[in-house]
Amino acid sequence: VANEEFSLIHSWTKKAINQQGDGLSVGIGDDAAVFSISSGMELVACTDAMIETVHFLRETMAPEDVGYKSLISNFSDIAAMGGVPRFVLVTIGVPPTWSAEECQQIYEGMYEACALYGVRIIGGDTVATPDALHLSVTALGEVERGQALLRSSAKPGHLVFVTGRLGGSAAGLHALLEARDQGGSVQQRWHELLTRHRRPLAQVAAARLLIKYGQGGALNDVSDGLASELWEIAEASNVRVVVDQSLLPVEPDAVAYAESVAKDPLEWVLFGGEEYQLVGTVAPTVAPTLAQAFQQQGLAATFIGEVEQGEPGVYLKERQGLQKALAKAGYNHFRAVD
């Protein structure tokens, strides 16, 4: 990006819907944004960065996808507390290798994510960087006072659940990297997997059902792989988590794609990431109500195991009935897949 293009980028960042209302008193255009949240709620705040070559490659993500996903990963962290995302602040670091037009496309992807979740961009910073594109996003949301769903709330006897299906994002990334290495493009039949990787959804509606019907319990989002997220719950709650391999909801396309490349999809399910599904625990007494509520809203939730007393750890009950200890190993982006 040339110097004169910087003002252009600045102007897009200011395109953010800036009227007052919804608790927003001051949006973009002053030293800081000013807003209030709904009464009876607490603030939820998180930050998550995406760096070119570390978290994404230009060959595997369009600029719009990068912008979109940078917000979704943050909305997902808000959802993982049971909260609703409301506002974001975005810092973009632009190297000379990205054009002003591509930066505009990044923002278009962000506005798509904002529109989907009713979120507004209320601040940010536009800076030059010497090399790679950087996006650093802070999301602000709200949750009922005292009711945030913590990693430390899992209790022996709780059931373990996960929303949606797993393995799709990692399978999609695998397909993209294979295509890149072979100089081709991904076959049409695997395009849904690419969408899983490039356009994940944040499970805000599911989070809200958990607040409404879950009566507490632990919650985490699957950003770094199921095993890693369950380990966080196990350690924070000081419990042992046992999941049943036969119950894991695997993305059917990921299974089919894995077969076509002679891979085991279980690796993607356990150690892939960026699914942004929610994984957590609830008391067995609330499980039927919760299952019904999910079903009524057309949301998928699968009970995959149990919480037990014992040393913190995560175990996979294999089809033969044996328990295998799962490593903490999470998603290392371009290293984890293959």
Asked whether 34 and 137 are in contact (CB, 8 A), the reply is no
**Interface residue with its own copies, options 55, 174, 197, 240 (CB under 8 A):** 55
Site size toward its own copies, by CB under 8 A:
61
Report the greatest alpha carbon distance in the chain.
Answer: 65
| 324 part of the interface to its own copies, by CB under 8 A | no
| 43 part of the interface to its own copies, by CB under 8 A | yes
Q: What is the dihedral of CA 287, 288, 294, 299, to 10 degrees?
A: 80
Per-residue tokens: 205:
């509606």
Amino acid at 26: V
Stretch that binds its own copies, among 35-43, 164-172, 240-248, 317-325 (CB under 8 A): 35-43
| 46 part of the interface to its own copies, by CB under 8 A | yes
Asked whether 167 and 253 are in contact (CB, 8 A), the reply is no
**Interface residue with its own copies, options 1, 61, 89, 110 (CB under 8 A):** 89
| 175 part of the interface to its own copies, by CB under 8 A | no
Name the nearest CA neighbour of 33 among 84, 89, 81: 89
| 202 part of the interface to its own copies, by CB under 8 A | no
- Shortest Å distance, C-beta 221 to its own copies: 6
- Shortest Å distance, C-beta 37 to its own copies: 7
Could you give the residue ranges of the DSSP H alpha helices within 80-203?
100-117, 168-181, 191-198
| Residue 232: other Cβ atoms inside 10 A | 19
Stretch that binds its own copies, among 48-56, 190-198, 266-274, 300-308 (CB under 8 A): 48-56
Q: What is the dihedral of CA 78, 267, 241, 332, to 10 degrees?
A: -50
Report the interface residues with its own copies, using CB under 8 A: 25-26, 29-37, 42-49, 51-55, 77-78, 80-81, 83, 87, 89-91, 93, 122-125, 127-132, 134, 136, 138-141, 143, 145-146, 148, 150-152, 219-221, 236
